[in-house]
Structure 1
Amino acid sequence: MRQSPSIVPLDRLDRDVYLVLEDLGARAGCAWRETDEQDTDLETVLRHLLSGQYTYPVRIVAFNAIEGWSRDATSDVADAVAQRATDTDAEISSALHAFIEANATKRFDLQLTLPLRGAA
């Protein structure tokens, strides 16, 4: 019996996918964020972290279903987002700063933008 070819192009599946576990607060708990397929590459996840799309990231998992592997990518992503913030002088939230502090394997000197009392 002949096997039918897949209707899903293999190159679409043969890539690294990154998913973000986010803390949604005491009432909701943690959940894997729903996201579009095209927004699961590393570059997009880094951009979304820096732009505040993920408010309280907890864990980031990477996998490649075709190659048959998965791994915890939290430290790698924390290092990458910290480096990107440093290189671009990006302002980061206190929650993202806490994520970097808790998970980065390298030391980064990030400056948080803090509101000044009485400044208008």
Structure 2
Amino acid sequence: MAQSPSIVPQSAASHDVYIVLEDFGGRLGRAWSETAEEDGNRSTLLGHLIEGHYFRPARIVAFNTTEGWSRDVTAIIADELRRRYDELEDMAPSTLEFLARAARH
């Protein structure tokens, strides 16, 4: 029996991918933010969070299909953003709210 080809993009298969669950509130609820393949890396995610590209980030998940794992990295990313805030002292209001929510969990 022939195996089906993988649907995982080859460029994504060799590194960790980060996606953001956003809380749009009310009737809209939560949804995973659409992310271009080349923007799924950690450094781009951090930059987008700092700049306020997300409305209300609720959770961040990382996965690596080659290694076969996925995990909630919300607290890890929040800790890294807190360290960067000490250096930058300028961060989007949505990210500051995210840091406050992450500290409570």
TM interval, short-chain normalised:
0.7 to 0.9
Task: Identify if the C-alpha distance between structure 1 residues 52 and 68 changes in structure 2 by more than 3 Å, giving closer, same or farther.
Answer: same
Give the TM-score, by structure 2 length: 0.82
Query: CA separation in 2, counterparts of 1:34 and 1:92?
Result: 19
Q: Show CA shifts across 1:18-45 (max 9, x none).
A: 0000011212100000110011111111
RCO comparison, higher one (Cα < 8 Å, 6+): 2
Give the TM-score, by structure 1 length: 0.73
Give unpaired runs (5+ residues) of structure 1. Answer: 106-120
Query: CA separation in 2, counterparts of 1:34 and 1:91?
Result: 22
Query: CA separation in 2, counterparts of 1:58 and 1:9?
Result: 26
Query: CA separation in 1, counterparts of 2:9 and 2:62?
Result: 21
- Residue 21 of structure 2 corresponds to which residue in structure 1? 21
Cα displacement (A) at 1:84: 1.5
Q: Is the 8 A contact 2:12 2:37 kept in 1?
A: no
Query: CA separation in 2, counterparts of 1:16 and 1:25?
Result: 29
CA-based RMSD: 2.3
Structure 1 residue ranges (4+ consecutive) displaced by more than 3 angstroms after TM superposition: 8-12
Greater Rg, structure 1 or structure 2?
1
- 1:66 matched to 2:54: no
Give unpaired runs (5+ residues) of structure 2. Answer: none
Aligned positions, number: 100
- 1:102 matched to 2:79: no
